[in-house]
Structure formats: structure tokens, C-alpha cells
Structure 1
């Protein structure tokens, strides 16, 4: 049974990585430690088994196991949103029903991808998946799977259980337009890490991002500063976050996130192929880049940068 209503799921929500062991198997122990690490740092929710969680590299049964472990470890302390997206409507419905039975607070999904599905195919997909459980559905608008137009998002919002959107496009005017044109109760989550400040200013209810596992302190500070009116302070932290992200994107950045957590005392395991873990030489280069960012901005309050010393 869900513990939180969607209207109360706000704030900073990491798109959770999935720890794998040296043999590319899901590592339950590492996941439990990561969950507690993020809760201790004040995260407001978790978003599971999406692209950051390498969800599309796992079987449906593996995805279910991740959901079971995380919800068990969270134990109702913060909301849990489960990404159930797949190309197959049948698989997504199965994952959605499992999420509901396991105790998720909401589900989310990218549109079906790979084939260039028509708008009606996508509409029917969301209709079928969202109506398969009582949980609220958060539509996922992301370039990787194909962006949804604003008018189509408005159409999807007419499906009874579609209650929000994870908005990872850069057209942030559509964030406040969703609130104005659909409903103030339609939840909008900004999904572009590099544009967190903009998303919050444009009336996003929360922010969901890949690098929040790596920089929970930075994005929590950004969120709180914007909410308190300190836009200049928030933008300074955003610039630092962008530099860290750009340095990470030179590699398979899920591997950078996991490696950096290891520096901070949280063993987040390894990535699954075809992603590649960092070599020793690459680790040195990432650390050097982070040290240069720390020196450039003269900051001492960012955990991941301090961990490079």
C-alpha cells in the first residue's frame, strides 16, 4: 500500500542508480546502504529502475527485485516512484502491478520507443498501463525515448490516472504551462540536472535527476535556495554542478557516479555492460577535474569535491 499521496511528493528526488557486483549481478547489500546514505542526506524521494538505474539492461524479474529491496529498506520513510517503462505494454503492466503490490507510491514510464510509434499507439500505451493499477502515473518526457509535444501531454492528462509528468526537455516554459493549462494539481518534476534552477523557478513541484545520488547536498541546497528566494546563491551552486556533470559526461557517467560514491564511503558497485567501469587512469583524470573545479570556485562545502583530496 502506498504511503504518500502524489501531491505530497515534492523536493529533491534522485533517479537511483542500481549497484551491480563484479559479475554484473544486482547487489542487494550495496543498494540498501545507498538508500540509507541518500535518506540521511535529506532526499525527498527515490525514482527507481529508470535509465539512470540501468533499468533497460535488466530483466523484468531483476527490476522487480530492485523495487522490492528498495521499498523494504525505505520502509515508508520517503516516497518511492517506480519506473515501469518498456517497449511492450504487457511487460509495463506487469511491472506496474508489481510496483503497486510491493508498496510503491507512484509509477512512471517513458513512452514506448525504438519503433516510431504513432501518437495513438503511445496514448493507448499510457492508458493501458496507468489504468492497470490505482497508482498515479507520471509520464516521462525525455529525449532518449522521444519527446512528447505539449498538446499531447495535455491530452494524456485526460487519462484518469495520469497525474503528472517528469519533464526532461529544455522547453521549461511548458512546465508552468502544464500547471496553468492542465491543473495546479498536475504534478510536474523537472528532470534536467543542468537546469534545476530553471525548473524550480518555472513552478516544478520537484526535481528528479541522475546526479543527485552523487551530489545530494548540492541539489538540496539549490532547491532550498530557490524556494527561499536566493536565486543568485542557487545559480552559483548550479554552475558548479554543471561543471561536475560535464566533466563526468566524458565517460560513462553512471560509472562516474558509482565511483564518486565510493570515494565518499558508499560502495555503489559497478555498471553493467555495455557500459564500462572507469580504469585507474580514468579515475585519476576525473579526480583531477573535480579538484580543478573545487579550486576554481574556492568551495569547501561540496562532499564529492572534498572526497577527491
Structure 2
């Protein structure tokens, strides 16, 4: 795996069957869809992957099967965040055995933690990890917004990057500024609407949920941003904003985009759209709304090429 880690790294959804088992056929379809779209890596067991809601055996099955399908064509990142150190390490070691390339670590997500407590946690966890890791800042789920100082501690312990899902542009820019003189350390943005801002400011890429459905669209935005193609950026961002205003907005819930992404993939015939409890897939009416938006979306005959 070349450093710094760059590009579009979709937080892959986890295809499930009605009985909540892994949709293995859908998994293969989805991975090939992502790779055909030109993505630069794949992130398993993140928020869009419903990682914390999946049983440990299903998580391990997903990691194993995904790594077998990907066959080192792009780097595989695996989310190992859990409420216990032992559970995180168990998934981390399985990821190494399966052939993953890196891990993604956020603070444990039950107890409210002080920053010094998470610093101590990283000092215990990092030396035990069998693979390189990224620090994951996602305060909406962990109750703690990590500072550049904490991420620097992570870097000293071996972190190769930070994934920022704070949804705060100032926080993102603070990370970029803090690590601008460390060329092998990646700053990856989680909010897909900040992709071009991150790249133009000196960041390295995005874990963009919408890239599950429209991988080429986000790859094109990344490349336009690298080349400072401002008209191209504006054109593509308009399409992504349209996705947010339509496909992501058929339901008013905090997890609406995750459900919408899975639903859209199901409509496209890529994989099933069953959700892990406590989430539920969208109703038939909402599904029909998403189908309508997909039918009207100006994205060529398929979801893989912009017109």
C-alpha cells in the first residue's frame, strides 16, 4: 500500500439478505461496480457499512469474502471500532489474516471520554495492532471531537492518516494544516460535500458514501479537484448536491442517506437492501421515490459514466 493513502475510498455498504445473512452475490456485484468506477480503495465496516450493528462472525465473513474478491486490486481498510479493546483487536487480527491493508480506529462509542482518556486508549491499542491504522474522528457517534494534538499522538504511535467525519470544515482544515509537512500522512474527509474543499486545501481524498452508487461521479470530482478544474468541480458538485436534495431526502431520519444508498443499489440490481437491526429498509413508497429520482438523474445510461 503506497503512502499517503489517496483518492475515493467508498465506505462500502454491507449487502444483507432478508434473513440478515451476508448477500455474497450482491457483495461481489457491488465490489466490481466500485472497481469499475475507478475507486482507489474500499472501506469495510464503517458507518455506511453498519459495522457496529453486525455480529462478529458476520463481520469476519464480510472481511474474508471482500478481500478474496478484491484480490489486492485496491487497498482494503477495515473499521475495528468497538466498545471493548479485545473486540477491536479480534477484528483487527482477522483483517490481517484475510489480507486487508489497514485499519480504521475511532474512540469507543459508549462512555463519554475525556481527550486524555482516548490518548491513553490509543497508547494501549496502537502497539497491539497488526496493521497500519487511520484515526477516525466521528464525534456524532463517539461524543468526542478529536483535536489535531490527539491525532498527532496517533501518528507518533504509527497512524498513517486521519479520517475526519466531523462535518465541520474548520476542523477539517485544522487537520490539513497540522499535517501539511508530513507527506506520508493522509487527511481523508468523510463528508462527501467537502471533497473538493479538502483536495484544494491539501487533503488527500474522501470516504464518500455516495460513491457506493455513483463511484465514477466521485472519482471525476476528485480528479477535477486535483487538477484545479474549477468549472468541472462546480458541474460535478451540482450533481452531488442534487443527490443530497433528492435521493438522500426521501425520508427525514438521521440515517436516511444510508438507507437511500442501499435502496438505490437494490433498484440498480446490484445487491439487496435489507438493513441490520435497529435500522429498517425504506418503504415501498420511498423506494419508488428513489427509483423516480434515479430515472431522472442525468448520469448517462448507467451509473458509471457522467454525461
Establish whether TM, by shorter chain, passes 0.5.
yes
The equivalent of 1:287 in structure 2 is: 291
Given the alignment of the two structures, is residue 147 of structure 1 paired with residue 145 of structure 2, yes or no? yes
The equivalent of 2:101 in structure 1 is: 105
- What is the deviation of 1:208? 0.9
The equivalent of 2:241 in structure 1 is: 242
- What is the deviation of 1:65? 1.1
Given the alignment of the two structures, is residue 158 of structure 1 paired with residue 156 of structure 2, yes or no? yes
Cα separation, 2, equivalents of 1:165 and 1:305: 28
- What is the deviation of 1:92? 0.7
SS at match of 1:131: helix
String of CA shifts for 1:90-110, please: whole Å, max 9, x gaps: 111111111112211110111
The equivalent of 1:56 in structure 2 is: 52
| TM-score normalised by L of structure 1 | 0.88
- What is the deviation of 1:8? 5.3
Cα separation, 2, equivalents of 1:302 and 1:187: 35
The equivalent of 1:10 in structure 2 is: 6
Cα separation, 1, equivalents of 2:304 and 2:99: 36
The equivalent of 1:177 in structure 2 is: 177
Given the alignment of the two structures, is residue 266 of structure 1 paired with residue 276 of structure 2, yes or no? no
Given the alignment of the two structures, is residue 115 of structure 1 paired with residue 129 of structure 2, yes or no? no
Cα separation, 2, equivalents of 1:302 and 1:126: 47
CA contact (8 A) 2:250 2:289 kept: no
CA contact (8 A) 1:201 1:226 kept: yes
Instruction: Tell me: CA distance 1:174–1:128, structure 2 relative to 1, closer, same or farther (3 Å).
Output: same
Cα separation, 2, equivalents of 1:126 and 1:218: 36
SS at match of 2:174: helix
CA contact (8 A) 2:213 2:265 kept: yes
- What is the deviation of 1:189? 0.9
String of CA shifts for 1:147-181, please: whole Å, max 9, x gaps: 2122222233221x212100122223224213236
- What is the deviation of 1:284? 2.1
CA contact (8 A) 1:178 1:188 kept: no
Cα separation, 2, equivalents of 1:278 and 1:285: 10
Task: Report which stretch shifted further, 74-83 or 275-284.
Answer: 275-284
- What is the deviation of 1:289? 4.3
Given the alignment of the two structures, is residue 232 of structure 1 paired with residue 236 of structure 2, yes or no? no
Q: Whose relative contact order is higher, 1 or 2, with alpha carbons under 8 Å and at least 6 apart?
A: 2
Cα separation, 2, equivalents of 1:48 and 1:214: 15
Instruction: Tell me: CA distance 1:113–1:302, structure 2 relative to 1, closer, same or farther (3 Å).
Output: farther
Instruction: Tell me: CA distance 1:265–1:290, structure 2 relative to 1, closer, same or farther (3 Å).
Output: closer
- What is the deviation of 1:273? 2.3
Cα separation, 1, equivalents of 2:41 and 2:126: 21
SS at match of 1:140: strand
Instruction: Tell me: CA distance 1:180–1:239, structure 2 relative to 1, closer, same or farther (3 Å).
Output: same
The equivalent of 2:42 in structure 1 is: 46
What is the aligned-residue RMSD (CA, Å)? 2.1
4+ long deviations beyond 6 Å = none
- What is the deviation of 1:140? 0.4
- What is the deviation of 1:31? 0.8
Given the alignment of the two structures, is residue 168 of structure 1 paired with residue 172 of structure 2, yes or no? no
Instruction: Tell me: CA distance 1:152–1:133, structure 2 relative to 1, closer, same or farther (3 Å).
Output: closer
